[in-house]
A and B are shown apart, each in its own frame.
Chain A
Amino acid sequence: AQSVTQLGSHVSVSEGALVLLRCNYSSSVPPYLFWYVQYPNQGLQLLLKYTSAATLVKGINGFEAEFKKSETSFHLTKPSAHMSDAAEYFCAVPRGSQGNLIFGKGTKLSVKP
């Protein structure tokens, strides 16, 4: 069965530093993958979606993610962190044929001035 692992429940970076949030999937190559962001007291918002059309996917707010089949990974990056990036980030993969998603446990990003 498919599962998704996010390494690091908390990541702290300085403003202007590289952001790297890790996501690994467990099973066969998924047809698509998502990254979502959750700001305090809000629901989840879509950051970006991988659909096999391209291994490097660009999302909103300067984020991008690269799909690496050999590493079963879909890590999220941003070259330069901004204070407004402080939030919790979730990776999600499809569960089965119904279109349901399995979410990782989330990584909380803190940005220091």
Chain B
Amino acid sequence: NAGVTQTPKFQVLKTGQSMTLQCAQDMNHNSMYWYRQDPGMGLRLIYYSASEGTTDKGEVPNGYNVSRLNKREFSLRLESAAPSQTSVYFCASSEKYQPQHFGDGTRLSIL
């Protein structure tokens, strides 16, 4: 009964370091999403993948890259972390026009 699993749950980085946030879903959904959540800003879409093999930019893609590794997995990479990327990151999955299912988030601090 896992749904959407995100790893790690917490991470502290130094400015300039790189890291990859992992996301996996077990609901056989075609679409997957990466959001960031900042206080007072709601959720903002970073990247999404409408189906295996495709990725597209969302509202705030700068400084991020993604990989849709297979139908289950969708990773988010920060190549050179900046303090402005301190945030809570959520992965979600869904079928088109259906409700999105969210993971519990990755809390990322960049010093």
**Chain A: residues with CB nearer than 8 A to chain B?**
9, 31-32, 34, 41-46, 49, 90, 94-95, 98-101, 103-106
Contacts and interface: CB of A to CB of B under 8 A. Distances in A.
| Top 7 A-B pairs, shortest CB-CB distance | A43-B102, A99-B96, A105-B42, A103-B43, A46-B99, A103-B42, A44-B102
Contact of A32 (B41, B48, B90, B97): B97
A94 B45 contact: no
Interface string B47-71: 0101000001010000000000000
Interface of B: 4, 31, 33, 40-45, 48, 50, 56, 58, 90, 92, 94, 96-105
A75 to B, nearest CB: 17
Contacts, number: 54
A105 B40 contact: yes
A43 B4 contact: yes
Given A98-B50, A98-B56, A49 B99 contact: yes
A43 B105 contact: yes
Given A44-B90, A49-B99, A100 B42 contact: no
13 contacts: A31-B97, A32-B97, A42-B104, A42-B105, A43-B4, A46-B99, A49-B99, A90-B42, A90-B43, A98-B48, A98-B56, A100-B48, A103-B43
